[in-house]
Structure formats: C-alpha cells, structure tokens
Structure 1
Amino acid sequence: MQLSKEAFEAVYSCLKQARKQNASEEEIRSCLEKLVSRASDCFEVDQLLYFEEQLQALEPHLQL
C-alpha cells in the first residue's frame, strides 16, 4: 500500500517522535492506527527513519 503525502508525513512525524521518546510498541501501534488503517503499512517509513539515524551516526566519520 502506498501512503498519501499527508499520511506519510504524519506517520514519519509519529515514528520520529516515538523513537526520541523510546516509546513502547503498544504506544507506537496506537499512534499509527489513528493515522492509517494498518500499522504494518508503516514499516517502510520506520526503515527510512532507521537508515537516517544510521547515516547521522556515520556523518562525523565521513569525508565528503
């Protein structure tokens, strides 16, 4: 399933905030279910956030 731009932005924001607050799986699922019909549709957005965090962690070591 493809998310609309608005849904993507809302899910991205929800997941980013949840990661900052170390939210529980239940809290995250509850937030996502308010935004989309199936929380599992947000897996790719979660992956994107994970890779962004990894890149930010590596950034000081990269020579551009």
Structure 2
Amino acid sequence: LQHLEGAFEAVYSCLKQARQQNASEEEIRSCLEKLVSRASDCFEVDQLLYFEEQLQALEPHLQL
C-alpha cells in the first residue's frame, strides 16, 4: 500500500509541476514513464488536478 501511495504522490507532483510550467505532452509523458509503466494510467490523477484548479478558481466566489 505504501508503494501505491508513493507512486500516487510522485505522479501527482510530476503532473502538478508540468501544469504549472505548461509542459508539452511529450515532456509530461517522459516524466510519467519514469514513474509508472503506462503514462495513460495517470489520467485520473490529471483529472484530479484539473478539478482542484477549477475549485481554486471558484473559491473566491463561494459563500461558505
């Protein structure tokens, strides 16, 4: 389980940094392939980052 958690954190960090730097698809794939056997397996993590960004953009407008 710790192996999966470590892999998730590594993929999450790689994708978050790539988004911040507007990295190319090739750069992102290269980074991910160093961490996991198939870069396509990381789609869900990329979606999570996308939704986090959307939530952060909406946060100032939310009345909690």
By the TM > 0.5 criterion, same fold? yes
Identity %: 91
What are the residue-to-residue correspondences of 1:7-46 with 2, within 5 Å?
A: 7-46=7-46
Where structure 2 has 5 or more consecutive residues not aligned to the other structure, the ranges are none
- 1:25–1:40 CA distance, 2 compared to 1 (3 A): same
Deviation at 1:37, TM superposition (A): 0.1
Q: TM-score, normalised by structure 2?
A: 0.95
Give the Å deviation of 1:3.
Answer: 7.8
Please state how far the C-alpha of 1:59 moved relative to its aligned partner: 0.1
CA distance in 1, matches of 2:28, 2:45: 13
Consecutive unaligned residues in structure 1, runs of 5 or more: none
Runs of 4+ in structure 1 off by over 4 angstroms are: none
What root-mean-square deviation, in Å, do the aligned CA atoms of Structure 1 and Structure 2 show? 2.2
Shift of 1:31: 0.0
Change (3 A) 1:9 1:32: same
- In 1, the alpha carbon distance for the partners of 2:34 and 2:53 equals 25
Tell me how many residue pairs correspond in the alignment.
Answer: 64
